[in-house]
Structure 1
Amino acid sequence: MPGYIEDRWYKKGPDGKRTIPTDRCNQGKRYRVAGVPGVRDRSFEKLTGIDGAKAWLAKAQHESTRGEFIDPRDGTMLLREYVEEHWWPNQNYPDPITRSTIKGKVWNHILTHLGSKPLNTIKTPQLRAWLKTLNSQLGPGTVNDVWGALSSILQAAVDDERITKNYCRSQKTVRPPARPDPRAEAWSRERVLQVRAAIDESARLAVDLGVGAGLRQGEVFGLALQDVDFDAMVIHVQRQVKKVGSKLVFALPKGRKTRTVPVPPHLLQNIRDHLARWPATAVTLPWGDPADGETEKEVKERAPRTFELLLTSARGGAWRRDYFNDTLWKPALEAAGLIAPPEVLRRPIAGKPGRFRTVRKYAEDREMGFHSLRHTFASVQLDARESVVSVSKWLGHADPSITLRIYAHMMPEADGRGRTAMQNWFQGDVETISPAAPRDSGVAIPQQSQPLEAGVSVEAGEPVLAP
C-alpha cells in the first residue's frame, strides 16, 4: 500500500543503521507519515503504540483505500468558527422570519455554551452538561428545537468530513425532552361573546373571522375585500401580514398553503356590517421580505403589493401583532374578567434624559391567545361530525394527521352510533343497518324487540358544543 514513515532525526549510515543525525535532530516530532493518497502528512513523537506513526499509517491506508478517511485534525476547528464560516453562510431559508428564529437559537443557546469547543470534542459528556443547562432555562419545546439545530450542524460537519460521528443522533442515554402535548382547548360560546363585546367595535370582525373561519391572527390582518366571495359563501385565505424585524410584509399563509373556507351567512353579514362603518383600506407592503433583493428574481418577488384590507389601524396601515395584542385583545380579555390587570411600568425614553413612558405589561397566557378562536372553530366543526380531512383543509394544515394530533380530543364519541348500528344488526333491522354491514350471511338472526343489554340507550346523543 502507498505510504511510508520518515525518520526526521536520523538517517542511515554505511552499516544500514539510523545513526547519523540530521539537521532536525531533536527538533520537533521525530516521525512523519507521508505518501498516503488523499491524506495530509502528519508527524508523531513515537513510532509504535496506539498514538504512534505505525498505527496511524495503517489506519490511514485502510480508510483511504475505502474512501472513508477523515483527518481528525479537521475536527479541531471550533464549533463557532465552523458555524460562522461554513455552516450558516450555506443555509437557505426563504422565509426571513424562520431564518431569524433559527439564527437566534443557534447563537443564543448553542454557541453561547459550546461555541468555544472543538468539533471533535462535542460528545456525550459535553451534551449531557449542555442539556442540563438548557432544561433549567427553556421550555421542553424550545430545548427540542435547539437540540435539533445542533444535530443539523454536527451532521453537516460529518458530511464535510470534519468529524466521524454526530453524537446527537447516536444518543441512547442523553436525549432532549419530548415535545409538549399539542392538545388545544376551545372556548365556550359565552366566553367568545364576552370578549367580542369587550373589544373595540372596529376590531370585532377579527373575533368573528377567528372563530367563524378558523383564520390565524396574521391571516385576519391580511384578509382583503377581494378574498370574500359573498355569492359562493366562502373566504379565500391567500396571504398573511408578518413582522420581519421591525417591518411588516405580506406573505403566503403558514406552510405556504392557500385555502378556501366555507363560512355561514351570519359571518358574511358581519363583514357587510363592518364594511358599512369601516370601508376596506388599500395597504401596500413588500412581499415576503422587506430587504432589497440582490438578484433580479428577488427584486421581482419582493416588489410591494397592494390589497384592500378589511381590518386596519387607525392610521390606515396594516395591524401589527404586538399592537393588536397589547392595545385591543388583552384589554378586552381584562374587561371580560379572563386575565389579571397588567403591571404598570415606567421606562426611560431613549435619548430623552429624565423622560419616561408608561408601559402596561400583561402576564403571558397561551390559553388566552387569539389562537383559541381557531381552536373553537375546529371544535365546532368536529363536534358537528365534519370529516377530519375537510377540517384539516379549512385550517390549512399540511396533513390531516396534524389535525388529529391536535384536535382528536374534541371529536365526539361515536359509541352511541356504533351501539345503535350493532343493535339493529342483531335485530335484523335491515333498513337501519349501515350499508357496509353484511346482511345475508346465511345465518339466522334472532328477532328481538328489546335491547340486548338493559339500561343501554339505542339513540345516538346529540352533538354538544365543546367547552
Structure 2
Amino acid sequence: MGHVQDRWFKDEPDPNRPGKTKRVPTSRYGVGKRYRARVAGPEGEVSESFADGEIKAAREWVRKTETSISLGTWTDPKAKPPEGDGVTIEVFGSKWLADLDVDEASREIMEMRFRKNIYPHLGGQAVTAVKASDVRSWDSKLRKQGLSDQYRHTLFKNLAALFNAAVDDDLISKNPCSGKSVKMPKAPKHKVVPWEEGQVWAVRRGLPKRFQVVTDVGAGLGLRQGECFALAVEDIDREARRVTVCRQLKTVRNRLVFDLPKYDKVRQVPLPEPVNRSIEEHMREFPPVEITLPWAVPDGKLVTVRVILTSVRELPIRSNDFDREYWKKALKAADMPHGRYENGMHDLRHFFASVLLDQGESIKAVAEWLGHADASFTLRTYTHLMPSSDERTRGVIDGVYSRRDGPDGPSTAHSDHQDH
C-alpha cells in the first residue's frame, strides 16, 4: 500500500512520556523536497518527490497512481511509452458502455455508433494518448463521409462522455473533447412545421383499413409510435374518458419487448369521443390479440396484455416493417415527402400539440399529455406555434381605455382628486 514519507522529520521515543513518541528534525531538515510518495509498482517501487507544503498533492499522487496500477493502465512517466501503449479506446469504451445506466435499447444504439463511427478511427489508440488534434481529425473524417451535423453532434457527445468517465477514473487529467481548439458540431435547430388537417386524413386513407386507427391514436392522443403499437384494451377507461399510456413496444437485441414509455413516464391522456369511436370500430373489425412479451430486456419477466394494433398475422408490429410496408406508401399516396427522415409517425404528435396550443391550451398540460420529461422542452419545441399574444394584449388595453370615462375610470378619479 502506498504512503507518503516526511524526510524532514522522524518519530523518536519521548523520554519524558513513556510509550509515546515525538517529532524531531532529521539530518535532511530543510534540504531538498520534503515529501516522498511511494507506491508498489508492477516492476518495483514507484516514487515521486514533493516540496514542503505539498502534502495533499503527494497523497493525491499516491491515490491516482494506485488506481492506474490496479486498472493496468499505469506507465512510467520517465520512460517514453510505445505507440498505443495502455488501455485502448475500444477496450475502455466496451467496458464503459456495458456498465452504463441506460435502458438496453439505448445501450444497443450507442454500441452501434461506437462500432461504426468511433472505433474505426480512434479505437486502437490508448485513452491516455488521444489529444485534441486527434478529436479534430476524427470529426474531419466524419464530415468527409457526409455525416450530418446532427449525427456528428450526437457522436461527439458520446465520445466526450467516454472521456469524462476516463477523467473520473483518473486515467487522464483532461477531456480532449473540451480543448479550446476543438469545436463540437452544432445540431441544427429545425422548427416544427405541423401537418395540416387534410394531410392527416389523406395519410389515414392511404393506410390499409387494419392500420388506419394508428393515425387517430397518434394525432388524437399524442402517442409515440411504440406506444401506439403497445396500446392495450385495459389501458382505456371509457367511463372516465381517459387513456393510460403505460408501456411501449420496442426492439432490444433484435427481440421485441414491452417497456415503460420514454423517460419512464406513465401518463394519462384525455380520450376524445371521435378517437374513442375509432378505436371501438377498429376492435369490432380487428379484435384485440393477447400478446406475451418480456419486459424491458429479452430475458425479462413475461407480460401479457390485449394489444389493439397487431400485424396482418396478428403479431406485434415491428416499427421498421410498418414504416417500410405501410407508412411510406401512405405518404406517397397522399403526395407527401417520404424520404428516410421525412414525415414519420412522430409528426402525428406534432399535429396533436399544435392543435391544442392553437386553441390556447397551456404548455404544462400539453407537456404532461405528450409525456415530456420537462415542460421547458415542450416550450422550446412548440413556442412558435402558440397563438400570438398581440391581439389579446391590444384587446385588454382597449378594454381598459374604453372604460376611461366611466364612473370608476381614470378621468373621474382625476376630477375627484382635484376637488380635494
Shorter-chain TM range is 0.7 to 0.9
Any idea what SS the aligned residue of 2:332 has? helix
Distance in 2, Cα, partners of 1:209 & 1:63: 62
How much does 1:245 deviate?
Answer: 2.7
Residue 144 of structure 2 is aligned to residue 129 of structure 1: no
Corresponding residue of 2:182: 174
Aligned to 2:60: 67
Q: 1:130 to 1:189 in 2, by over 3 A?
A: same
1:308 is aligned to 306
SS in 1 for 2:173: coil
Equivalent position of 2:104 in the other structure: 96
For residue 182 of structure 1, report the CA deviation from its aligned partner. Answer: 4.8
The letter for the 2-side match of 1:180 is P
Offset at residue 63 of structure 1 (A):
6.9
Q: Distance in 2 between matches of 1:369 and 1:41?
A: 57
Q: Secondary structure at the match of 1:103?
A: helix
- Equivalent pairs counted in the alignment come to 365
- SS of corresponding position for 1:37: strand
- Displacement of 1:87 in angstroms is 2.9
1:187 to partner: Cα distance: 0.6
1:77 corresponds to: 86
Alignment of 1:18-33 (within 5 A): none
Match of 1:7 in 2: none
- Partners of 1:78 and 1:116 within 8 A in 2: no
2:134 counterpart SS class:
helix
SS of the residue corresponding to residue 241 of structure 1 reads: strand
1:227 paired to 2:235: yes
Q: 2:170 matched to 1:153?
A: no
Paired letter, 1:251 = D
Does the 8 Å CA contact 2:230/2:249 hold for their aligned counterparts? yes
> How much has 1:84 moved relative to structure 2?
5.4
More helix per residue: 2
Q: Structure 1 stretches of 5 or more lacking a match? A: 5-33, 44-52, 293-301, 341-362, 434-438, 446-467
Residue of structure 2 in register with 1:417 after alignment? 392
Give % identity. 33
Q: Could you tell me how far apart the structure 2 residues matched to 1:172 and 1:39 are?
A: 37
Structure 1 equivalent of residue 336 of structure 2 = 338
Contact 1:182–1:405 (Cα < 8 Å) also in 2? no
Which residue among 153, 156, 165 is the counterpart of 1:144? 153
SS of equivalent residue, structure 1 residue 38: strand
Letter in 2 for 1:140: D
Q: Deviations over 1:182-225 (max 9, x none)?
A: 52221111111111112111111001111111111111100011
Q: CA deviation at 1:413?
A: 0.5
Mapped contact 2:132–2:176 kept (Cα < 8 A): yes
Match of 1:270 in 2: 278
Structure 2: distance between partners of 1:384 and 1:430: 34
Question: CA deviation digits over 1:314-338, x for unaligned, max 9?
Answer: 2111111012111111111122222
Aligned counterparts of 1:216 and 1:272: Cα–Cα separation in 2: 20
Residue 350 (structure 1) aligns with: none
CA distance in 2, matches of 1:126, 1:441: 74
Relative distance call for 1:39 and 1:191 in structure 2 (3 A) is same
Closer, same or farther: CA 375–3 of 1 in aligned 2, 3 Å: same
What SS does structure 1 have at the residue aligned with 2:342? Answer: helix
How much does 1:121 deviate?
A: 2.2
2:322 to 305, 320, 324: 324
CA deviations on 1:29-88 (whole Å, 9 max, x unpaired) are: xxxxx9632374999xxxxxxxxx99x645898775252465597264142364157534
Q: 1:63 to 1:430 in 2, by over 3 A?
A: farther
Structure 1 residue corresponding to 2:267, chosen from 240, 259, 273: 259
| Structure-2 residue corresponding to 1:385 | 360
Change beyond 3 A, Cα 1:369–1:3: same
Paired residues of 1:77 and 1:118 also in contact (CA < 8 A): yes
Measure the CA separation in 1 of the matches of 2:212 and 2:356.
22
Letter in 2 for 1:303: K
2:221 corresponds to which residue?
Answer: 213
2:295 equivalent to 1:287: yes
Q: 1:117 aligned to 117, 122, 125, which one? A: 125
In 2, the alpha carbon distance for the partners of 1:413 and 1:267 equals 29
How has the CA–CA distance of structure 1 residues 251 and 87 changed in structure 2, closer, same or farther, with 3 Å as cutoff? closer
* Cα distance, 1:429 vs structure 2: 6.2
Q: Find the counterpart in structure 1 of residue 18 from structure 2.
A: none
* Contact 1:183-1:405 within 8 A present in 2 as well: no
TM-score by length of 2: 0.78
Please state how far the C-alpha of 1:178 moved relative to its aligned partner. 1.8
Q: Which residue number in structure 2 is paired with residue 355 of structure 1?
A: none
For the aligned residue pairs, the C-alpha RMSD in angstroms reads 3.1
The one-letter code of the counterpart of 1:120 is T
AA partner of residue 36 (structure 1): A
When residues 3 and 305 of structure 1 are mapped into structure 2, their CA distance, relative to the original with a 3 A threshold, is same
Counterpart Cα distance in 1 of 2:412 and 2:38: 79
